[in-house]
Amino acid sequence: MTTHNLTITPDRYFKPGISLNEANIKTFRDLYRRLSKVNKFDGHDVDKTSLLKAAQQLGIQADLDDHQEKLQECVKYEDDEKTFSCVDIRIQGSVQQLSLGLHSIRPSASESSKEDKVPTILTEVKCVLIIKRQGKDMNDFLHTFLLQIVKKDSIYKSSSDDTCSPCDNKRFLLHPGSLLALFIHEQMSLLGTIRQRSAERLRFAEPLSITDEFGTWSYDHFRGLFEIELRSHLQKSFPSCWVLANDARIHCQFVFSGTRQANEIASSFIFERPRTGSLELFVEDVCAKEDNMKAKQWLEALCAEDIFSFPHLSNLKQTEWDNIKRLSMNAKRILKAAVDRERENAADDRRRSFEESSPDGELPRSAGNYIDTADKYIRLSFLGNLPRESRSELLANLHLIKLFIYHTLRFERALQKYGALSKLEPVCIDASFTEMRDEGFADDGLFSTMGEFFLPLTISEQELRLTRSNVSSQVRQDQLNDHINEVRRLEKLLNEATMHRWDIDEKITDLNRTIEQAYVLYLNERLQMNTANTSREQAEELQQIERQWQYNRTQFEKKLLPLKNTLDQWISHATDYEKQIDEHNTQINNIQTELSQPQLPVDKGLIKPARGFIMYGPPGM
């Protein structure tokens, strides 16, 4: 192939316009396949020499690490469609900046000098994790996932605060190689330089809210379980222009929503739901959450349209929203999204109240009461009276958060060795079936089939690439030895049982032979009766012979019965020993086969999802 003289970046070669050039990607893949002589891309080690040579022949720049990473993305997977999708995402980068909830203020022309201001580099920052749900599953998620160390080569200087548990509501230094630290740095790298008025906090991944012809649709990346905020470490607020250093120290603190620590640490109280007692309270709470200081202006614009209460605002149609001239487009979007969310929350409250209601139709008194005062907003929740929350739903939400964080860090090299997570949580599936049974649904043999249907979706990429370690091999070898020793012990017991069986069987044979001899003697005595005797004498003699035979037979049967019972017991023991020996031999064969096989990554193509599952009604019908 002729080497191109002109060079072009991978971005321009693979995506010259608004869409991918799939033909160019296939050309590069085919050329790399011929040079590297790789049959299948999945799971192979990229040959950098062949990669650079293919780029050189096609005139693609590969002098930067970023260029090489994009080229490697083209030859990472065998499936073309997956490759196109990954390359497109890698080129255009993450589009999640819209979901970060950063309400930055664009500087006006008179403030254009601020654009030239050198940003302040923050080397220390405070991260506050406001947790809205407590429990063992939540604590396991915090400790084993968010605080999981995936980048162990990071420099970490411990301090006296590091020994504090996150559940103690005490501040601790976050390990720079943990998932939470990597997630924070990735989000900050997407935001770049933060230019806004001095703010006290910066929130990550706030809920999305989209309005289309079907209405308003909202989605919370953290599933309403917690929030993540960055705050200045020493100062009350952030500078007006700042960036976070790549090696910044992150002082983390986990607080539980509704506790005294959460109220004390909050610089300004932010409500999970805005107050609806009056229009002023609702707008103030929405603006406080947006941190835009626009409450007064928005209230004036609404009052100019004779909107004086929250019901007035919530009953507006889309065309009426559009006719509010004094509100900006973004103000309308924020207020309408807040109204729609409150309407959905109110509907959920009514549904929960209906589920909790007593048989006579009375609603519970303490399902959730909101008390408006002049200075505070207090939510009273008596947890003991709330309906039992689904553990499977919690596990599903936590798994969605894991998938979101993994997707955000999909280009992190330290995380790529772990591979992609499974699409479903196995424990969540088991818990869902258990809850369905507890709620009264009949199994009818359907749950096990449903579990098998979801089984392929519970396999993670890391499980497919597992290799047997020395420790695992030693464990399996120890298990093999245990099975062999058990077989030997059982064989010894089987031999003893067989010996006892034959001994008893020989005694039974001898006793049966004695019975037969006695019977022959009995018949001879009947034949040898004296015929000279009278009939009466013959009858008495015959009765005497018959009674003697019946007595002898009874004695023989008494001796024979326990022998037969003992024989049956030894036969049963021998059968059990043979069955156990067969089971252990099967385990021995399986382990020997496993240890003799070379360990290779499992081909993804072997994991096939189910084609479909037809259900004619809920379980139990």
SS3 per residue for 268-322: CCCCCCCCCCCHHHHHHHHHHHHCCCCHHHHHHHHHHCCCCCHHHHHCCCHHHHH
pTM of the model: 0.54
Separation between Cα atoms, residue 202 and residue 233, nearest integer Å? 12
- Percent of the chain with pLDDT strictly greater than 70: 76
> Across all residues in the chain, what is the average pLDDT?
78
pLDDT for res 264: 53
Mean predicted confidence (pLDDT) in 357-382: 39
The letter for the amino acid at 507 is K
Separation between Cα atoms, residue 30 and residue 457, nearest integer Å? 31
Give pLDDT tens digits for 572-593.
Answer: 999 999 999 999 999 999 988 8
Mean predicted confidence (pLDDT) in 101-121: 53
Whole-angstrom CA distances from 98 to 94, 207, 239, 446, 581 are: 10, 10, 22, 43, 64
Residue 39 — pLDDT band, cuts 50, 70, 90? Answer: confident
Whole-angstrom CA distances from 38 to 19, 42, 60, 78, 473 are: 28, 10, 21, 11, 30
Q: Is 107 helix (H, G, I), strand (E, B) or coil?
A: coil
Separation between Cα atoms, residue 454 and residue 392, nearest integer Å? 14
Residue 297 — pLDDT band, cuts 50, 70, 90? Answer: very high
Q: Is the pLDDT of residue 6 over 50?
A: no
Half-sphere exposure of 61 (CA within 13 A, CB side): 12
Which segment, 205-209, 239-243, 465-469, 605-609, is predicted with the most confidence on average? 239-243
Give pLDDT tens digits for 241-291.
Answer: 889 998 999 999 998 876 555 555 554 444 567 888 899 999 998 888 777
Residue 445 — pLDDT band, cuts 50, 70, 90? Answer: confident
Q: Which residue has the higher pLDDT, 191 or 382?
A: 191
pLDDT for res 414: 81
pLDDT for res 70: 87
In the chain, CATH 1.10.287.1490 sits at: 470-596
Whole-angstrom CA distances from 49 to 62, 68, 73, 516 are: 11, 11, 15, 95
Give pLDDT tens digits for 144-190.
Answer: 999 999 887 655 555 444 444 555 578 899 999 999 999 999 999 88
Q: Sign of dihedral through CA atoms 531, 533, 536, 538?
A: negative
pLDDT for res 489: 94
334: Cβ contacts below 8 Å, ≥ 6 apart:
286, 290
pLDDT for res 608: 64
Q: Is the pLDDT of residue 470 over 80?
A: no
**Both tokens assigned to 618:** 């809920």
Give pLDDT tens digits for 45-87.
Answer: 888 888 899 888 888 888 888 888 889 889 988 888 888 888 8
Q: Which residue has the higher pLDDT, 14 or 197?
A: 14
- Backbone conformation region of residue 620, classed left if phi is above 0, alpha if psi is from -120 to 50, else beta: left
Q: Which residue has the higher pLDDT, 312 or 258?
A: 312
pLDDT for res 69: 86
pLDDT for res 298: 92
Q: Are 151 and 176 in contact (CB under 8 A)?
A: yes
Give pLDDT tens digits for 494-553.
Answer: 999 999 989 988 988 888 888 888 888 888 887 877 777 777 887 888 888 888 888 888
| Range 470-596: architecture per CATH | Orthogonal Bundle (1.10)
Separation between Cα atoms, residue 184 and residue 231, nearest integer Å? 12
Q: Using CB atoms within 10 A of its CB, is residue 61 exposed (0-12), middle (13-18) or buried (19+)?
A: middle
The strand ranges marked E within 335-480 are 369-372, 377-380
pLDDT for res 267: 41
Q: Which residue has the tokens 């000098």?
A: 113
